[in-house]
Amino acid sequence: MLKIEHIGIAVKDLEKSNEVYAKLLGKPQYKSELVESENVDTSFFQIGESKIELLGATNEESAIAKYLDKRGEGIHHLAFAVENIEAEVERLKAEGFQPISEKPKRGADNKLVFFFHPKTTNGVLIELCQEIK
Ligand code: ZN
Whether the Cβ atoms of residue 55 and residue 102 lie closer than 8 Å to each other: no
The kind and range of the H/E element at 73 are none
- For ligand 1, the distance from its centroid to the CA atom of residue 94, given in whole angstroms, is 23
CB atoms within 10 A of CB 27: 12
pTM above 0.85, yes or no: yes
pLDDT the model gives residue 109: 86
Residue 128 pLDDT greater than 90, yes or no: yes
Exposed, middle or buried by CB within 10 Å (0-12, 13-18, 19+), for 35?
Answer: middle
pLDDT the model gives residue 21: 98
Comparing CA positions, the residue from 116, 109, 123 lying closest to residue 6 is 109
Question: HSE (CB half, 13 Å, CA atoms) of 40?
Answer: 24
**58-116: pLDDT as tens digits:** 999 999 999 999 999 999 999 999 999 999 999 999 999 999 988 999 888 889 999 99
Rounded to an integer, the average pLDDT of 8-30 is: 97
- For ligand 1, the distance from its centroid to the CA atom of residue 133, given in whole angstroms, is 18
- For ligand 1, the distance from its centroid to the CA atom of residue 95, given in whole angstroms, is 22
Residue 37 pLDDT greater than 90, yes or no: no
What's CA 69's distance to the chain center, in Å?
18
- For ligand 1, the distance from its centroid to the CA atom of residue 53, given in whole angstroms, is 6
Which are the contacts of 37, defined by CB distance < 8 A and separation ≥ 6?
105, 106
